[in-house]
Chain A
Amino acid sequence: MTQKEIHNQRLVNEANARALSHLTRRHFLKESAMGLGALALGALLPGCGIGTSGGAGLDGGIVFDPANPLAPKLPMFPGKAKSVIYLHMAGAPSQLELFDFKPDLMKLDGQDCPDSLLKGKRFAFIRGVPKMLGPQAHFAQRGQSGAWVSDYLPHFSTVVDEVAFLKAVTTDQFNHAPAQLMMHTGTGRLGRPSIGSWVTYGLGSENQNLPGFVVLTSGGYLPDAGKSVWGSGFLPSVYQGVQCRSEGDPVLFIRDPDGMSRDLRKASIDAINEVNKQEYKEYNDPEILSRISQYELAYRMQISVPDVMDINDEPAYIHEMYGTKPGKASFANNVLLARKLVEKGVRFVQLFDWGWDSHGTDPSTSVDMGLIKKCKEVDRAKTALLLDLKQRGLLDETLVVWGGEFGRTPMMENRDGKQNPFKGRDHHVEAFTIWMAGGGIKKGASYGETDEIGYAAISGKTTAFDIQATILNQLGFDHTKFTFPFQGRPFRLTDVAGKVIDDVVA
């Protein structure tokens, strides 16, 4: 017997001994009583259509294989998109300075907000009667499609013909955390799976050496809703987003500690898996198989993740194109990583960039200064992303979504009734702009309109549910049939709402 085998045997014996110590007389009696009940219940339930795992209907025909949770699975119909890159500007960028051109608002600049816009409404910070605030940017129509984009985004202005704008998106949450949860999990409260989890649960992932759902953050802070925006909720936990870092080790503790060789690492994982397999034989808990596969994925990731997460091997002209500086945590670096991950067959890449909350309480949050700086940080990179995906033949099968969690008011914020020192706008739920590109989205389209001052949607109103329904549709899922049984009823990402936005689907 080799040293390794002796070691493994010892671990197995230890696990066995511990398992035996659980089996007391009391335990035996309890188990047998429960067991009889469970037997009876097992015979009863299939008649009610419950407990027939994998049966179509309750779960849309998706079978969860705990031993191989990320294996690619079939969509309901052939999807146009294979993967998604979702660029979330946490804090909510001002649509009135970027895409929603309102010359009439300019004329009202500095006037008191009419009572009709305030009556019965609630705002996060505006109190009393605020002043109207005209657009702070210069707008022009861009490209063949004639989309209005401001001069805050000079690079993006050159690629508008690849993009479909949704200009009348609405939400029902006016604080960051619930609104972010709404966009990504379909509810303003905690506990539901995020869209990336739903997608990897439904489709698995192409690359078996990388996580299927990767999250990258920039801007210095996590999104306000915290890690719940990439949580797996009631879906099996393997589908939660894996947060990677663009500075230092891409995934914490991915490197072997000093003195630990790769062979030893492999040996210890084998031993742990051996114990887990014994454990599985005993308890038949599918989460144990899940754990075994996670250990194996982690081991493979030790090789593949540092490789794919290293942007140093990209040529200089690509770095120039994206505006990346290797070794720093930045949105640009994350965008380049997102392209690399999608190229390697990762299903869902979620980027959060913090710092778009333009209240006007200081220069950095003003719509005429701080917002420009944020735009500069993302403009080049997101433009490069679209062009780079396009030239690699990947844009047709990669859906790119850009947006925030809500919009901003046409009024200037007056926190606690006092004029803010800089030009800023409050949170606004009745209208904001989101754009989508690639993945079978109509090029150069624009859907939805707001009134003459950009306060509310007047046509083509859409919601977070509609955007989620559209993303799922592009991946090959009917959002009304894509469900997961939980607490006695099938759950959907879009709950009981949502409609695919056909006007932006090619």
Chain B
Amino acid sequence: MLLSVLLLSIVEFIGRFHPVLVHLPIGILLMGLLLQALSRYPKYAISHGVIKVVLLCGMFSALASCITGYLLSLSGEYDDSLVAWHMWMGICVALVSMLLFVKVAKKENDLAYRALSAGLLVLIMVTGHLGGSLTHGSDYLTAALGSGLGPAAVAHKPIPDIKEAKVYADVIQPMLQANCYSCHGPDKQKGKLRLDDSAWIVKGGKDGAIIHPLHATESELMKRILLPAEDEHHMPPKEKTPLKESEIALFGWWIDQGANFSGKVKAFPQPGKIGAYLLALQAGNGGSGGPKASSLVPAAPVEEAAEKDLEALRAKKVEVIPVAHGSHYLSVNFVNAVDVTDKDLQLLVPLQKQLVWLKLGNQPVGDSGMAAIGQCGALTVLHLNDTRVSDKGLTYLQSLHNLRLLNLVGTGVTAQGVVSLEPLKQLQSLFLYRTRVELKDWKFLQQHFPKTALDSGGYVVPFLPWDTIDEMRPKKKQ
């Protein structure tokens, strides 16, 4: 018993050399074929003996690859039909290389010799490709040609109505597809587990069932997912994209509800956050990962600003830097600048395509400077707090259609002037603390800016009897 287990593990150990060994026959035999082809030209007179040795080496390495490959296939972690094809093609490679060696040894340069050479070339390429499909997945090559996004980045198809959606087909299966199929799918079955069909999921893997319906915490699937990321049994493995919190919760929820393969989402209770996670799938947000794109920077790329325009601003101690690595959009901050005049703001105009964030707070600039700002149509964030801007200056800003945040704190603007900003449909926040906008104007402004959060400021923290602070402080303990 012990001996057979030991034998099995030795078999598997030897089998695992296959992915290394296979590269030898590919390289050596191709080199042999190349040398043969070149030897036709007198310029590259290659000794016949060299070609013989190369082919001999190629032949033996092909044999070694066949043997180790067979041992590896016994582990059964791979798709049977693909493995069968790969195996027979590999055996053909070995056989053909033997025949070719015999031909070369006999110095027979006939038609059969050439046909064998051509055949070997084709066989090597097909076998190699099949092997690659086994290890990396059949879509490995073509994925790079596609949109450049790996299979993991495939977003959930937005579900038109989450209540009517199928709990398995629309919620669980897409998550399995994105995260698990590459190792537990049609091409590969690590741990003899296949997750691309309900029957396989119920059957489980090498160690038995992976799902214990109604008991998520006792299901191997959930146990593996919930292991610490550095545990070697954690799924998905460390080098793959980790599952999102929402995905983990949804897997657990699905098992707790009985691991149903046909019901609709609405048939199951949705405790706690599950409802929100499911709703997120409906909006098509379920697949988005990583840092969320900021709405404050346009998605479309822009050309780089001219260095001389940046230097002109930097000479005035104005900070000009891109908003992030790899972006040409600019953030400009006047916090260190001194003696800024309205005329200096003309320096911003050449950056009108790139400039998205501008801080001009506490600078003695006024209405005439706003003409220059008004030309910077890419602006999304504009701080004009404690400047000399008045209603007249605001009219220049009507053209800033991308503006999301406008800070007018401490300026002399009135409600009449602010209303002139009505064309700014993207405006999300408008700060009007310490301006001449009066309380009675407030309703009027809110009507004109239904989608904008208007902040009047002037908050107070009321005094409560509670506030009387006793001076007693704790003493430091030693």
Mark A residues whose CB is within 8 Å of B: 61, 72-80, 154-155, 206-209, 219-221, 317, 320-323, 343-345, 355, 357, 359, 361-365, 370, 373-374, 376-377, 380, 383-384, 387-388, 390-393, 396, 473, 476, 478, 496, 502-503, 505
Contact = CB atoms under 8 A, between A and B. Distances in A.
B297 to A, nearest CB: 5
A450 to B, nearest CB: 15
A75 B470 contact: no
Contacts of A391: 409, 431, 433, 455-459
Interface stretch (B210-218, B257-265, B320-328): B320-328
A16 to B, nearest CB: 34
The 4 closest A-B pairs by CB, nearest first: A391-B457, A393-B407, A393-B431, A364-B474
Contacts of A377: 469
A393 to B, nearest CB: 4
A321 B459 contact: yes
B180 interface: no
B335 A220 contact: no
A210 to B, nearest CB: 10
Binding site secondary structure of chain A: loop
Given A154-B464, A155-B461, A357-B477, 13 more contacts: A77-B325, A78-B323, A220-B476, A317-B460, A362-B474, A363-B472, A370-B472, A376-B470, A387-B461, A391-B433, A393-B405, A396-B429, A502-B245
23 contacts: A74-B321, A75-B323, A75-B325, A77-B324, A78-B297, A80-B294, A154-B464, A155-B464, A207-B335, A208-B336, A219-B473, A220-B473, A320-B460, A364-B472, A373-B469, A380-B467, A391-B409, A391-B458, A392-B407, A392-B409, A393-B383, A502-B245, A503-B245
Interface in B163-190: none
B325 A392 contact: no
Contact of B385 (A362, A393, A496): A393
Contacts of A75: 323-325
B296 interface: yes
Given A78-B323, A321-B459, A505-B292, A373 B470 contact: yes
A221 B335 CA distance: 34
B333 interface: yes
Contacts of B459: 321, 387-388, 390-391
A384 B321 contact: no
B44 interface: no
Interface in B297-351: 297, 317, 319, 321-325, 327, 329, 333, 335-336
B466 interface: yes
B239 interface: no
A479 to B, nearest CB: 11
Contact of B461 (A79, A321, A370, A396): A321
A356 B329 CA distance: 45
B443 interface: no
Contacts of B458: 391
Contacts of A383: 461
A505 B289 CA distance: 12
Contact of B475 (A321, A362, A396, A478): A362
B461 A345 contact: no
Nearest to B471: A373
Nearest to B361: A343
Nearest to A374: B474
B356 to A, nearest CB: 9
Contacts of B107: none
B295 to A, nearest CB: 10
Interface centre among B335, B407, B475, by most A CB within 10 Å?
A: B335
Contacts of A357: 474, 477
B230 to A, nearest CB: 7
B325 A393 contact: no
Nearest to A359: B477
Contacts of A370: 472, 474
A390 B431 CA distance: 9
A208 B336 CA distance: 7
Nearest to A370: B474
B433 to A, nearest CB: 4
Contact of A478 (B291, B333, B407, B468): B291
Given A373-B469, A387-B461, A207 B336 contact: yes
Interface string B360-390: 0100000000000000000000010100000
Contacts of B464: 154-155
Interface centre among A387, A393, A396, by most B CB within 10 Å?
A: A393
A473 B292 CA distance: 10
Contacts of A344: 335
B244 interface: yes
A79 B325 CA distance: 11
A359 to B, nearest CB: 8
Contacts of A320: 460-461
A425 B325 CA distance: 48
Contact of A365 (B335, B429, B460, B474): B474
Contacts of B431: 391-393
A377 to B, nearest CB: 6
Contacts of A343: 361
A323 B467 contact: yes
A476 B324 contact: yes
B385 A392 contact: yes
Given A61-B325, A78-B294, A355-B473, A345 B333 contact: yes
B311 to A, nearest CB: 15
Contacts of B325: 61, 74-77
Contacts of A209: 336
Given A219-B473, A357-B474, A390-B455, A376 B336 contact: no
A392 B410 CA distance: 9
Contact of B466 (A154, A220, A321, A355): A154
Interface in B392-410: 405, 407, 409
A79 B383 CA distance: 17
A504 to B, nearest CB: 12
Contacts of A322: 461
Contacts of B472: 363-364, 370, 373
Nearest to A394: B407
B473 A364 contact: yes
Nearest to A76: B325
A317 to B, nearest CB: 8
Contacts of B456: 391
B397 to A, nearest CB: 15
Nearest to B246: A502
A73 B321 contact: yes
Given A380-B461, A391-B455, A391-B457, A206 B319 contact: yes
B344 to A, nearest CB: 18
Contact of A78 (B296, B466, B475): B296
Contact of B409 (A74, A219, A393, A502): A393
B409 A376 contact: no
Contacts of B230: 496
Contacts of B333: 72, 206, 345
B321 A376 contact: no
Contact of A393 (B335, B429, B466): B429
Interface string B406-443: 01010000000000000000000101010000000000
A473 B319 contact: no
Contact of B467 (A79, A374, A376): A376
Contacts of B461: 155, 320-323, 380, 383-384, 387
Contacts of B361: 343
Contact of A321 (B433, B455, B460): B460
A393 B324 contact: no
Contacts of A361: 477
A503 B272 CA distance: 13
Interface centre among B230, B433, B470, B473, by most A CB within 10 Å?
A: B473
A400 B129 CA distance: 55
Contacts of B385: 392-393
A391 B324 CA distance: 27
A73 B473 CA distance: 42
